[in-house]
């Protein structure tokens, strides 16, 4: 089958169009003929080598954490979606940038009335957004939420979900001044430039701060986020976009200021609580299809643009969600 992958870690130029064997579904798995593949920042990390060296068939790794498409075959003894059903799937072991992908039934749900292009951007992004807000962040109705990397895939989904879960105010930070104008379209009360978000958040909350901060950026942004927490406020960490590496929090600072730091890792949840991912995926597909959860349709591009899309994502130049139309050539 046709796929897009890399044989050595490196910059976007290592991504190439390749031929690899069509994967075979094992017990508890389905084979999906991929219609659309969502693009995530984790695939940039995969390509760079942050998850190890490529070791797939022919020495290639095929990135891709989420797809939509049609069930083509079931693995031995698999009970789940029927052959021919249109589904969306999270792929914890990657493989989405391809004509076919294999997924465990825990992570496969019918798309229902949601168009396949929109559904492709749901299986990684939305369970993460629900997970950081509800499971790690313990969001309660009436609270104020601050979302870093606000205009991206997870960020823009989290803004809408936070509102649907009853947040009273939803603010965000972005890396460039031009993106602050996207606030209303993405469901935010306001977007701030990340470099001086502390003053902006304290001003807009009359000094009280945010109850919940979602932080995939890390480094100085993470440290500063602790200083804008309202009493019993939480910072949820779930990425290191700035490549700052690990740091140590001062527990006495948490104690003396009634603040908390929490973590969320979808790979860990998928291994230890897979049902949680399936529940959030079903919840998101249904809310998006019914319109209960508003969303902006993704940017659809041919997979031949894979290197360019990675370049833009890495440079912080994207907004919302991008998906590959796997069958589109040129
Ligand atoms: N823990 C988990 O289970 C989990 C699951 C899914 C995603 N994530 C994490 O969530 C984050 C967002 O993922 P996504 O796929 O939705 O990506 P994305 O938000 O669509 O794209 C990345 C965005 O982050 C912002 N950003 C901030 N600092 C950056 C930097 N130093 N370099 C590049 N971009 C930077 C950029 O916008 P602005 O600078 O304008 O804000 C950029 O558009 C990533 O860190 C990803 O690893 C974690």
63 lines ligand 1 (CB under 6 A): no
* Cα of 63 from ligand 1 centre, angstroms: 16
Q: What does the pLDDT look like over 173-184, one tens digit per residue?
A: 999 999 999 999
Instruction: State pLDDT tens for residues 176-235.
Output: 999 999 999 999 999 999 999 999 999 999 999 999 999 999 999 999 999 999 999 999
Distance 85 CA to ligand 1 centre (A): 31
Whether the per-residue pLDDT at 329 is higher than 80: the answer is no
Is 163 a member of any domain?
yes
pLDDT, tens digit (0-9, with 9 covering 90-100), for 65-92: 999 999 999 999 999 899 999 999 999 9
Instruction: For ligand 1, say whether the CB of 299 is within 6 Å of any of its atoms.
Output: no
- Which of 20-24, 145-149, 312-316 has the lowest average pLDDT? 312-316
Residue at 102 is within a domain: yes
Instruction: Name the domain count of the chain.
Output: 2
Say if ligand 1 is within 6 A of residue 151 CB.
yes
Could you tell me the residue range of the domain that residue 211 belongs to?
128-265
pLDDT value for 316: 87
Ligand 1 contact via 292 beta carbon (within 6 Å): no
| Whether the predicted pLDDT of 138 surpasses 90 | yes
233 lies in the same domain as 134: yes
- Which atom of ligand 1 approaches the CA of 263 most closely? 1
Mutate to test the pocket of ligand 1, among 46, 134, 243, 316 (most ligand atoms within 8 A of CB): 316
pLDDT tens, position by position, 29-70: 999 999 999 999 999 999 999 999 999 999 999 999 999 999
179 lines ligand 1 (CB under 6 A): yes
User: 257 and 310 share a domain?
Assistant: no
Report the pLDDT averaged over residues 91-116.
97
Determine which residue's CA is closest to atom 29 belonging to ligand 1: 241
Q: CB under 8 Å, gap of 24 or more: what pairs does 11-19 form? A: 12/47, 12/306, 12/307, 12/308, 12/310, 12/311, 12/314, 13/307, 14/47, 15/47, 15/306, 15/307, 15/310, 17/303, 17/304, 18/58, 18/60, 18/62
Residue 237 sits in a domain whose CATH number is 3.40.50.720
For residues 143-172, average pLDDT = 97
Taking the CB of residue 17, how many other CB atoms lie within 10 A of it? 12
Q: How confident is the model at residue 330, as a pLDDT?
A: 62
Mean pLDDT along residues 289-306: 95
């Amino acid at each position: 089958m046709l796929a897009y992958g890399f044989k050595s870690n490196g910059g976007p130029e290592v991504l190439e169009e390749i031929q690899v064997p069509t994967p075979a579904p094992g017990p508890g798995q389905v084979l999906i003929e991929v219609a659309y593949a969502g693009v995530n920042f984790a695939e940039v990390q995969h390509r760079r080598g942050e998850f190890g060296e490529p070791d797939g068939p022919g020495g290639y790794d095929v990135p891709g954490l989420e797809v939509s498409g049609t069930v083509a075959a079931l693995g031995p003894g698999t009970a789940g979606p029927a052959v021919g059903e249109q589904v969306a799937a999270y792929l914890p072991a990657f493989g989405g940038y391809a004509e076919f992908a294999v997924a465990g039934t825990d992570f496969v749900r019918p798309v229902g009335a949601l168009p396949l292009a929109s559904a492709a951007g749901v299986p990684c992004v939305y369970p993460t957004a629900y997970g950081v807000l509800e499971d790690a962040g313990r969001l309660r109705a009436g609270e104020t939420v601050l979302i870093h990397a606000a205009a991206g895939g997870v960020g823009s989904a989290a803004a809408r979900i936070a509102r649907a879960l009853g947040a009273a105010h939803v603010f965000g930070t972005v890396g460039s001044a031009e993106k602050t104008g996207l606030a209303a379209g993405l469901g935010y009360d306001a977007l701030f430039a990340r470099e001086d978000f502390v003053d902006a958040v304290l001003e807009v909350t009359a000094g009280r701060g945010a109850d919940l901060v979602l932080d995939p950026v890390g480094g100085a942004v993470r440290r500063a986020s602790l200083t804008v927490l309202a009493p019993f406020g939480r910072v949820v960490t779930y990425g290191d976009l700035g490549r700052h590496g690990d740091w140590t929090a001062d527990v006495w600072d948490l104690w003396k200021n009634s603040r908390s730091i929490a973590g969320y890792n979808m790979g860990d949840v998928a291994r230890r609580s897979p049902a949680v991912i399936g529940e959030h995926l079903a919840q998101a597909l249904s809310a998006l299809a019914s319109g209960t959860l508003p969303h902006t349709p993704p940017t659809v591009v041919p997979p031949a643009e894979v290197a360019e899309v990675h370049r833009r994502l890495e440079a912080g130049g994207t907004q919302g969600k991008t998906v590959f139309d796997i069958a589109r050539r040129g």
